[in-house]
């Protein structure tokens, strides 16, 4: 049984390494800086964010992701700065990304702003060959996987107001092969294209509704679409649902503890055959912000 599960994990590792590429998040609307550098500084505060995701609980070697980010406007200017750290574990692989983001924002009207961003990333990839249990432990093909470093860069554009946001981004412009054997890459980092958007509607004096979507395009993989619907009550509580096309249905909730502190939780249930091998995925985030307007948030933000 363990052999079958481990074989499945290796297959999933290959699939995820080729199709999923970048770490995926159900609560992407709160972690935009990870995929779009133009988001840096857009909240008008020093925003510190942490997230932990454990995917496909109960399946050995399933993805496990931790991320930390901080972004802020720079010195009351149109420039925004950001820093992101992401650790992604899948089966025998352990991948770390550190990114530096810079953005520049232009006001297009009294309501809308458009931001342009640039991202520089360093990727550190490790493969624990001991978990592969090769027949020949001394095989030189399995000795060159530790601490493989690859630089990369990306860009994005982000249109936003107090009610609407839309973005287009490519976090990594460079396709990289971590390891080649006879021109075959065991891990190939391909270009990911992201399109996102959302709008906040007032349903009443104390209820807001925000539909949103995130589309991801990767060469050689099906289009991935996340569609979410969230409701905010009393500018404090948020509940919602999300659907990842042909993959997952999710329940979302978060609570604005104070003007500065926000905590959220998401649960994913697979709609594919993988549902037979795991008990779902969990995701929790914590965001703390330092505002310059007397320490107060002027307008509650849904994104």
Report the distance separating Cα 215 and Cα 193, nearest Å: 8
Q: What angle do CA 70, 71, 74 make, to 5 degrees?
A: 140
List the domain range (segments joined by +) for residue 191: 33-292
Flag the least confident range among 16-30, 50-64, 231-245.
16-30
- Residue 156: inside a domain, yes or no? yes
More confident residue, 277 or 297: 277
- What CATH number did the domain enclosing 219 receive? 2.40.160.40
286 close to 262: Cβ distance less than 8 angstroms: yes
Pairing of the two strands 148-160 and 164-170 = antiparallel
The average confidence (pLDDT) of the chain is 84
- Residue 88: inside a domain, yes or no? yes
185 pLDDT higher than 60: no
Which pLDDT does position 20 carry in this prediction?
46
* Position 138 confidence tier, pLDDT thresholds 50, 70, 90: low
Report the distance separating Cα 91 and Cα 13, nearest Å: 6
Report the distance separating Cα 20 and Cα 250, nearest Å: 18
Which pLDDT does position 295 carry in this prediction?
55
| CB-based contacts of 204, cutoff 8 Å, min separation 6 | none
- Mean pLDDT over 86-114 rounds to 93
More confident residue, 187 or 249: 249
- Residue 166: inside a domain, yes or no? yes
Which pLDDT does position 35 carry in this prediction?
94
31 pLDDT higher than 80: yes
DSSP 17: I
pLDDT tens digits along 217-248: 987 778 899 999 999 999 899 999 999 988 89
- Residue 13: inside a domain, yes or no? no
What are the Cα distances from residue 290, in Å, to 48, 96, 105, 145? 9, 27, 20, 41
**How many domains is the chain built from?**
1
Which pLDDT does position 171 carry in this prediction?
94
51 close to 283: Cβ distance less than 8 angstroms: yes
Which pLDDT does position 81 carry in this prediction?
97
- Three-class SS string for 80-129? EEEEEEEEEEECCEEEEEEEEEEEEEEECCCCCEEEEEEEEEEEEEEECH
Global confidence as pTM:
0.85
Task: Name residue 243's beta-bridge partners.
Answer: 227, 249
- Residue 83: inside a domain, yes or no? yes
* Position 181 confidence tier, pLDDT thresholds 50, 70, 90: low
- Residue 142: inside a domain, yes or no? yes
Which pLDDT does position 149 carry in this prediction?
84
199 close to 208: Cβ distance less than 8 angstroms: no
Report the distance separating Cα 111 and Cα 164, nearest Å: 10
CA neighbor of 162 nearest in space, from 206, 109, 239, 215: 109
- Residue 5: inside a domain, yes or no? no
* Position 169 confidence tier, pLDDT thresholds 50, 70, 90: very high
Contacts by 181-186 with C-beta closer than 8 Å and gap 24+?
181/141
Which pLDDT does position 127 carry in this prediction?
79
Which pLDDT does position 19 carry in this prediction?
39
Backbone CA torsion sign across 295, 207, 201, 196: positive
259 pLDDT higher than 90: no
- Residue 17: inside a domain, yes or no? no
Which pLDDT does position 187 carry in this prediction?
60
More confident residue, 6 or 266: 266
* Position 179 confidence tier, pLDDT thresholds 50, 70, 90: low
């Amino acid at each position: 049984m363990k052999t079958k599960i481990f074989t499945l994990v290796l297959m999933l590792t290959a699939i995820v390494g080729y199709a999923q590429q970048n770490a995926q998040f159900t609560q992407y609307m709160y972690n935009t800086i990870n995929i779009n550098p133009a988001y840096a500084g857009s909240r008008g505060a020093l925003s510190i964010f942490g997230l932990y995701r454990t995917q496909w609980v109960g399946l050995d070697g399933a993805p496990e992701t931790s991320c930390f980010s901080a972004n802020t406007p720079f010195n009351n200017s149109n420039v925004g700065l950001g820093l992101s750290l992401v650790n992604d574990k899948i089966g025998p692989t352990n991948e770390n990304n550190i990114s530096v983001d810079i953005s520049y924002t232009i006001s297009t009207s009294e309501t809308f702003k458009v931001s342009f961003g640039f991202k520089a990333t360093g990727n550190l990839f490790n493969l624990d060959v001991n978990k592969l249990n090769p027949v020949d432990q001394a095989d030189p093909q399995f000795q060159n996987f530790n601490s493989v470093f690859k630089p990369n860069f990306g860009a994005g554009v982000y249109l936003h107001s107090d009610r609407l946001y839309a973005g287009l981004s490519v976090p990594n412009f460079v396709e990289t092969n971590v390891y080649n054997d006879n021109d075959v890459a065991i891990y190939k980092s391909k270009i990911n294209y992201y399109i996102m958007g959302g709008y906040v509607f007032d349903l009443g004096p104390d209820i807001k509704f925000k539909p949103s979507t995130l589309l991801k395009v990767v060469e050689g993989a099906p289009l991935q679409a996340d569609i979410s619907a969230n409701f905010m009550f009393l500018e404090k509580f948020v509940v919602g649902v999300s659907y990842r096309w042909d993959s997952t249905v999710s329940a979302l909730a978060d609570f604005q503890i104070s003007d500065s502190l926000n905590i959220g939780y998401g649960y994913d249930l697979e709609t594919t055959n993988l549902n037979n091998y795991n008990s779902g995925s969990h995701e929790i985030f914590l965001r703390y912000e330092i505002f310059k307007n007397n320490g107060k948030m002027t307008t509650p933000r849904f994104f």
